[in-house]
């Protein structure tokens, strides 16, 4: 039993079937499914780009060692491939950032869902924010 399960078991008075039903309904939320689908798509794209990058890395040295009639052609091809590799690297870096962001979002959502299933989470939503000059309203309502 993990630490979080032990903590939730000790703080919650609900039975195991109630917890399982709460977690099932929590996992079926559209927000979590959207995050999971985005995460899966990003991971698939990341895998494809890494595969293409490896293929290009293997092709570049092979073309450099192949004898060709003009070195200008080789330089042009090498520069083009290097630019393509840089673009792929930038794309992979941005996808990795997206994956890490989605992973943290997913972790936060899972934590909120666990807390909601245990009854320990209250969604905090801000109502309309006051203008800076309405600061006196907060203090007058709190004292009066």
- Domain spans, the chain: 13-120
At residue 127, does pLDDT exceed 80?
no
Q: Return d(Cα 8, Cα 11) in angstroms, integer.
A: 5
> How do residues 24-47 score in pLDDT, each as one tens digit?
556 678 888 888 899 999 999 999
What would the CATH number be for the domain defined by 13-120? 1.10.287
Q: How far apart are CA 58 and CA 98, in angstroms?
A: 27
Q: Decide if pLDDT at 10 tops 50.
A: no
pLDDT tens column, 42-101:
999 999 999 999 888 888 765 555 555 577 788 888 899 999 999 999 999 999 999 999
Q: Angle at the Cα of 21 (from 30 to 8), degrees rounded to 5? A: 100
Torsion-angle region of 119 (φ positive above 0: left; ψ -120 to 50: alpha; else: beta): left
pLDDT in tens, 84-120: 999 999 999 999 999 999 999 999 999 988 888 888 8
Tokens representing 76?
């042009």
User: Is the overall model pTM greater than 0.85, yes or no?
Assistant: no
- For residues 24 and 76, give the distance between their C-alpha atoms in angstroms, rounded to a whole number: 57
Q: What is the pLDDT of residue 5?
A: 47
């Amino acid at each position: 039993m993990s630490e979080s399960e032990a903590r939730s078991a000790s703080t919650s008075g609900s039975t195991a079937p109630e917890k399982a039903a709460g977690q099932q309904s929590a996992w079926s939320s559209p927000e979590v499914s959207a995050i999971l689908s985005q995460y899966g798509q990003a991971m698939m794209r990341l895998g494809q780009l890494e595969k293409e990058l490896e293929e290009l890395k293997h092709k570049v040295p092979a073309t450099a060692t192949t004898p060709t009639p003009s070195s200008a052609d080789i330089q042009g091809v090498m520069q083009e491939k290097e630019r393509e590799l840089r673009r792929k690297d930038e794309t992979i870096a941005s996808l990795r950032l997206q994956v890490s962001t989605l992973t943290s979002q997913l972790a936060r959502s899972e934590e909120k869902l666990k807390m909601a299933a245990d009854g320990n989470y209250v969604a905090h939503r801000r109502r309309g924010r006051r203008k800076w000059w309405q600061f006196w309203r907060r203090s007058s309502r709190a004292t009066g």
